[in-house]
Structure 1
Amino acid sequence: MPGKFCINLTCAKDNPDKATVAFVVANAAVASDQETVVFLSTEGVRVAVAGYADEIAEEGFAPLKELMANFAAAGGKIYVCSPCFKKRKLDETALVAGAVMVGGAKLVEFMSTGCPSLSY
């Protein structure tokens, strides 16, 4: 029976290393049969906009765009903090594959039965 795993990402181009590593770990979790959610909050919501992550490529890692696409294709979910997204006046019609707008209650529901989480 698969478990759950949650990663909270709070940065984007302001810290591309953390943004990249968050999705490296997320891919490892989903590949390990964990129901995996990446929760994007504060500045992290920016990576949910199609095209934004295209320029992020940290040495030694696959490009962030590729990591995100692989994560979504493997069944990973990307939860985007709706208030954080709206505060930044981003385009809700331009979300990347696997991304959905959520409020805090959706994250609490996912984590309510207990699951490990990491924050970047």
Structure 2
Amino acid sequence: MPKKLVIKVTAGADAPERCSQAFTVAAVAAASGVEVSLWLTGESSWFALPGRAAEFDLPHAAPLPDLIDGILAAGGRITVCTQCAARRAIEEKDLLEGFRIAGAQVFVQEAMSDETQALVY
């Protein structure tokens, strides 16, 4: 089993099931002791802003704020894509505590490290 899981979520409220699945997998992996790096790209970038995750609703799915809290509490990292943030005028100062903005070079570095599994949703 990989020691690190890098998950890139490309969907937000526009594809709620795919979005929720990515956050759920990240939270379960983090709670299981796997080192998790969750990357928010495209429309999922909005969930890095205060209050946005609480607006997301999908029947029979765990609330996004709870999943985010679980990921961060277990030592997971949540990153917003640099270009995606720029296209939405999201700056580092706007982000929830524990989130960061980073680019493709960092994503590739994380995804290609030894004993890492990468998933894209």
Q: What's the counterpart of residue 61 of structure 1?
A: 61
**Residue deviations 1:31-86 (CA, integer Å, cap 9, x gap):** 22211111111222111111111111211122111111121111110011011111
Q: Deviations over 1:68-118 (max 9, x none)?
A: 112111111001101111111124322123211101111112122242122
Between the aligned partners of 1:71 and 1:29, the Cα distance in structure 2 is: 8
User: What is the match of residue 118 of structure 1?
Assistant: 119
Residue 15 of structure 1 corresponds to which residue in structure 2?
15
Equivalent position of 1:76 in the other structure? 76
Q: Which moved more, 1:99-108 or 1:89-98?
A: 89-98
Supply the AA of the counterpart residue of 1:3: K
- AA aligned to 2:67 is L
User: Partners in 1 of 2:49 and 2:15 — Cα distance?
Assistant: 17
Give the superposed CA RMSD.
1.8
Give distance in 2, aligned partners of 1:19 and 1:97.
21
Q: Where does structure 1 lack aligned partners over 5 or more consecutive residues?
A: none
The count of residues paired between Structure 1 and Structure 2 equals 120
State the AA in 2 paired with 1:119. V
> In structure 2, what is the Cα distance between the partners aligned to 1:91 and 1:12?
18
Aligned twin of 2:27:
27
Cα distance in 1, alignment partners of residues 50 and 21 from structure 2: 19
Question: CA separation in 2, counterparts of 1:76 and 1:105?
Answer: 19
Q: CA deviation at 1:10?
A: 0.7
- Counterpart residue type for residue 74 of structure 1: A
Provide structure 2 residue ranges, at least 5 long, that are not aligned to the other structure.
Answer: none
Q: 1:4 and 1:62 mapped to 2: Cα distance?
A: 23
Identity between Structure 1 and Structure 2 (%): 34
